């Protein structure tokens, strides 16, 4: 009878290249914030097959970059382009509404290789752009105050060519902030996306948002936080400047409220929650500090790193 090691080798040998590619792709797309390149290096080594790795990486990196709202600096240093479906023109070209440029990106290298001016067809009408610019200006103030390493953008998602009052239009707001500190065994990110629908007939602006927090602590262990929340709000249809202020205030309120709720939940975690980890953490021959589980408030540390709530 073959031993367990032989059985494992035989099972591994039965995997097809397609199956290996899908497994590799799963690990790459599910890498924690800021860690896909570390995972890619290990995956490539384990596969021992550059063709399979390249096929998996070619599919995984664009998915990862968009889901993590990765921001890349433009080569002319005129700004940053966020990798998001809202700005995606094709698989390698992304529109940046603030600089009115289209950036070509290399997903696997996570760099922006060149930029070009957007065409008239790719830009909103002057009427819609007036609302977009006013909102972008207010959001930049909010993000710079709240997320020291944050970046934001406002994209037109509907009614791009509306020339004046009497029709609906919409925006998507993206806010992304990250704190990568692998030398200290921790990485974290904040991502929020907001859809803003301007209802002309109702003289109403509707807001829907999704907020995501991710953190990974891996010093002698593997502890991850992955939380998200969705919400809705609304305000009256006003001038571009007044709409921008109202929308930004709603976002500020909702994001602060969510971070506060996360903080409260982690400060009040019962001891039993951490005791459940005892079978999941690695053996380090070090006693787990059951008397001081307060120190494991992941949200508190992440909020401090990202500068949230200041």
pLDDT score of 161: 94
Winning range, highest mean pLDDT, from 14-18, 56-60, 261-265 = 56-60
Quick check: do 13-67 and 71-117 share a fold? Answer: yes
Angstrom CA distances, 199 to 159, 185, 209, 230, 285, stand at 11, 47, 17, 21, 62
- Superfamily of domain 13-67 in CATH is F-actin capping protein, alpha subunit (3.30.1140.60)
Which pair of tokens denotes residue 237?
């249809």
Query: For residue range 68-91, what is the model confidence (pLDDT) as tens digits?
Result: 999 999 998 889 999 999 999 999
State how far the Cα of 86 lies from the Cα of 154, in Å rounded to an integer.
Answer: 9
CATH number listed for the domain at residues 71-117? 3.30.1140.60
For 16-50, b/e burial (b = at least 16 CB within 10 A) is eeeebbebbbebbbebbbbebeebbeebbeebeee
pTM for this entry: 0.82
Query: For residue range 189-203, what is the model confidence (pLDDT) as tens digits?
Result: 999 999 999 999 999
- Residue 239's closest CA among 152, 135, 120? 135
pLDDT score of 1: 44
For 260-277, b/e burial (b = at least 16 CB within 10 A) is eebbeebeeeeeeebeee
Residue 53, pLDDT > 90, answer yes
Return the minimum-mean-pLDDT range out of 60-64, 90-94, 279-283.
279-283
- Say if CB 108 and CB 58 are below 8 A apart: yes
pLDDT score of 197: 98
Q: Where are the domains of the chain?
A: 13-67, 71-117, 124-306
Cβ within 8 Å of residue 302, ≥6 positions away:
179, 188, 213, 215, 225, 308
Residue 61, pLDDT > 90, answer yes
pLDDT score of 7: 57
Let me know if domain 124-306 sits in CATH 3.40.50.620: no
Query: For residue range 264-303, what is the model confidence (pLDDT) as tens digits?
Result: 877 766 555 555 555 555 555 565 555 555 555 555 555 5
- Say if CB 101 and CB 117 are below 8 A apart: yes
Residue 39, pLDDT > 80, answer yes
């Amino acid at each position: 009878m073959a031993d367990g090691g032989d059985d494992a080798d035989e099972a591994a040998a039965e995997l097809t290249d397609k199956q290996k590619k899908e497994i590799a792709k799963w690990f790459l797309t599910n890498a924690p914030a800021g860690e896909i390149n570390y995972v890619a290096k290990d995956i490539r080594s384990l596969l021992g097959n550059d063709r399979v790795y390249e096929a998996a990486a070619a599919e995984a990196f664009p998915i990862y970059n968009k889901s993590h709202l990765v921001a890349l600096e433009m080569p002319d240093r005129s700004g940053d382009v966020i990798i998001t479906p809202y700005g995606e023109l094709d698989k390698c070209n992304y529109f940046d509404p603030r600089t009115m440029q289209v950036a070509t990106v290399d997903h696997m290298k996570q760099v922006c290789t060149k930029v070009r001016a957007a065409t008239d067809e790719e830009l909103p009408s002057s009427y819609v752009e007036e609302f977009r610019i006013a909102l972008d200006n207010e959001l930049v103030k909010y993000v710079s105050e709240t997320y020291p390493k944050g970046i934001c953008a406002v994209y037109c998602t509907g009614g791009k060519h509306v020339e004046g009052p009497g029709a609906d239009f919409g925006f998507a707001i993206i806010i992304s902030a990250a704190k990568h500190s692998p030398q200290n065994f921790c990485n974290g990110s904040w991502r929020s996306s907001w859809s803003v629908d301007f209802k002309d007939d109702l003289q109403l602006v509707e807001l829907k948002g999704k907020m995501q927090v991710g953190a990974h602590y891996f010093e002698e262990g593997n502890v991850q936080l992955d939380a998200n929340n969705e919400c809705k709000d609304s305000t009256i249809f006003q001038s571009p400047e007044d709409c921008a202020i109202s929308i930004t205030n709603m976002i500020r309120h909702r994001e602060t409220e969510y971070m506060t709720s996360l903080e409260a939940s982690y400060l009040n975690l019962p001891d039993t929650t951490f005791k459940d980890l005892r079978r999941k953490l690695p053996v380090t021959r070090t006693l787990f500090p059951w008397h001081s589980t307060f120190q494991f408030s992941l949200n508190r540390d992440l909020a401090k790193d990202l500068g949230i709530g200041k």
